[in-house]
A and B are shown apart, each in its own frame.
Chain A
Amino acid sequence: MIPTPTPASRPPGLRTLSIATVVAFCVAYGLVFFYAPIEAEEGFLQKIFYLHVPLAIVTLCGFVLGGLMAIMHLRTRDRNWDLRSYVTIHMSLIFGVGTLITGSIWARGSWGHWWVWSEPTLVSFLIIMLLYATYQPLRFAIEDPERQARYASVFAITAGAFVPLNYAAVNLSTAYLHPRVLGSSSNLPPSMALTLLVALVAIALLFATLCSYELTAKRTRMLLRSRSRILGFQGSGTTERRPDAARETPVPTSAPARAGVHAR
């Protein structure tokens, strides 16, 4: 008999994580607009900083995390790590787009330009985004699921190692237009630092929630597809029009199934 998904079958952490995210967002943006002082030079425009900076930090950490998960995949050959790495990088790309857009809006308000090509921080972030933009085409260009997972992991590790190197290189460069908010040159007053920290926690929680949500959705879809295949059922809306079905092979969740993947 096919198990029907019930609220009880949802992962227990997802609901808690979602509630924590909503609460963190309310607190963070309450602090942003009602507690953090208005900056003397930039005025109200500086409020973008509490959105843009946490987004950028979480994006870059997500890319590095994706690389670490890829290492775990290559070490253990457990396809769950590959799936986690894929979802983390996918989510980081979405957050990265948010970072670029909010940064451009800030730049327009602050410097009068949407984009400044001479600014190393902006350009380096764009390079990282373009690098990761090739991750999905590379991944889905390979049909064999085993090879696909392995090559994607190698890419994620290489690109993940590039992120901190890139950050260090930008920090070592001399031309600073971009405001520094972290590190020794930062002179944030405590109220602003606290607000930034809470906003960072909120964005990180959102990232974790969306990753968990997507992971659950992907696992459910794979399970459904594999059950459909077992029953020889091809008429379902979820099973018939998937030319890219190879890209989502069922991830083994049980220990014997994982052992099977090892053997292959």
Chain B
Amino acid sequence: MMIVPLATALPENTGDGYVAAAYIVFFAIVLIYVTIMAVRLTRVERGLRELGEREQRRLQDETRQDEAPPIQQRERETV
């Protein structure tokens, strides 16, 4: 409803293309920045996931080593 009076109030030779260009450029800059940050965030997430998996594997290996009996004890048991 408010657009209609605005549209009729526009003077001749308004230069609205320039206004649109300025606002588009600004939002494009913000968008590019946010996209770059999102890409970096994805990389951090991937790194964090890999780090978590590696840590988990390390913990599993440690648990397995603790559970396995020493070799000499196993040999004595077989004799």
Residue numbers of A with Cβ under 8 A of B are: 1-2, 4-5, 33-34, 38, 42-45, 47-48, 51-52, 55, 94, 97-98, 101-102, 105-106, 108-110, 206, 210, 213-214, 217, 220-221, 224, 227-228, 231, 233, 235-239
Contacts and interface: CB of A to CB of B under 8 A. Distances in A.
Interface string B8-51: 01110111101101110110011001000100110111111011
A106 B23 contact: no
Given A206-B30, A217-B41, A233 B54 contact: yes
Q: Most B CB atoms within 10 A — which of A34, A42, A217, A237? A: A237
A42 B11 CA distance: 9
Nearest to B5: A34
Main SS of chain B's interface residues?
Answer: helix
Contact of A45 (B9, B15, B26, B37): B15
B16 A44 contact: yes
Contacts of A233: 50-51, 54
Contacts of A2: 48, 51-52, 55
Nearest to B21: A105
Given A224-B44, A236-B51, A238-B46, A106 B37 contact: no
A109 B18 contact: yes
A106 B18 contact: yes
Contacts of B18: 45, 48, 105-106, 108-109
Contact of B33 (A34, A51, A101, A210): A210
Contacts of B46: 236-238
Contact of B23 (A42, A51, A214): A51
Nearest 8 CB-CB pairings of A with B: A238-B47, A109-B18, A45-B15, A44-B14, A109-B15, A43-B11, A236-B47, A102-B22
